[in-house]
Chains A and B, each alone.
Chain A
Amino acid sequence: MTDTPRPRPLRVLAAMSGGVDSAVAAARAVEAGHDVTGVHLALSANPQSFRTGARGCCTIEDSRDARRAADVIGIPFYVWDLAERFREDVVEDFVAEYEAGRTPNPCLRCNEKIKFAALLDKALALGFDAVCTGHYATVVVNEDGSRELHRASDMAKDQSYVLGVLDERQLAHAMFPLGDTLTTKEEIRAEAERRDLAVAKKPDSHDICFIADGDTQGFLASRLGGKAEGDILDEEGAKLGTHDGAFGFTIGQRKGLRIGHPAPDGKPRYVLDISPVNNTVTVGPAEALDVTSLTAIRPRWCGTVPAAPGTYTAQLRAHGGETEVHAELVDGELRVSFQQPVRGVAPGQAIVLYDGTRVVGSATIATTSRRAATQATA
């Protein structure tokens, strides 16, 4: 029923970031009897020598850590230069999305366009059967051979959200050795230690790998030109202050508004809307963040396309909780209504639909509605 062990050994390409998860994943693939080759993706045209802080996955040091792990595991190791593809498909997309007032998730984009597209295609062409990563998610093979993507056994580590963009074909060649077992991060580290992998104690990477210092606003400012001053408005359109560029804001953001004077009701104000065309940012009270329905585009299904409207659980952020939704597909667009209003939903983010632990599919949020949903709950 589960992904491993398999009846026959596969030729597996293990994507190794230089971190502990992907190293243990590669080691487990070897242990499962597969013929494994490690590959580190060079995603930055000008890699920094060393990590700054605990984040990032594009440094020379990470590449060396990955190579060292591959040597200990005893598998061939290569570095593939996908910097150009990464720049085009992930970084430029990230910048363009922010510029358009949306909040993209580059990790999903990377899985869809790089790890399970550029990398997978090259791997298949070179005779590999599967790409293995250190993601915490589970692939279930049905008796008819079809595949399902499920949440990891350990819900706390589950990363199925960022894999929700994978379609059936991509899934057919994906291997996630860490998702099948109920393992905590501490146990993975202990396992790495047991396997003599020097990355056992390496800090987790987080945030956005191509923004090494973690300063997303600074990165966007450098990419989208200098400061473009615009207005901060309230819900009625009255000017409350100014900002240095609409792209620097995220819906639901509270800090850094610098409005200076309190709202009439004395409650904190949050970013409700970003309009890059007018370069305005609209703020209002927390209640105004309540989203009751949304539409989402570019749906991708991890299996058969759901024919009829249905009830699912949805996840709206990488580490967000689940919420009950009703969803239907209308003219290729996903219409979703929430049983309970949710906050902090921004266009550009991905909504991933689940049926129990099974990933049904994902789509990119296009519009949100803050009033009671009507047409979406047909």
Chain B
Amino acid sequence: MQRIIAGFLAGLTFGAGLVVAGMSNPLKVQNFLDVFGNWDPSLAFVMGGAILVAFPFFRLARFLPRPFVADDFRIPTFQQIDKRLIFGSATFGAGWGLIGLCPGPALVSVSLLSPQAIVFVLCMTAGMLVARLVAGLSMRRALKEA
């Protein structure tokens, strides 16, 4: 139950942060990516602010035996830069540039109930399910070949 409450508080804070930062407005995100035109650099402050706060705590977490309300820390240790990472990130970047929404702001917009937000989230969800399927298949093939 504590984990569920912590998750909910983290979600609320995250969603509020996205809205306050202006990331829930696709036009603002596109203006951030438009470095050769009407550049609006605001969103660099979002990432900067978030990293500034998070960085020391990721350091601190290394010295904690376990999290406050869960059994273990699950922090990625994988460091390999592979084709899947680059191809996936490039595909994500293309979609992000086309409309100006990434997954967090897309979920935030659901409650605004615009047809645009709903269509985006439905297609995003479908894309995620396909990716899980394809990634699972390619991983099974890799294991077989290994």
Do A and B assemble together? no
By a beta-carbon cutoff of 8 Å, the part of chain B in contact with chain A is none
By a beta-carbon cutoff of 8 Å, the part of chain A in contact with chain B is none
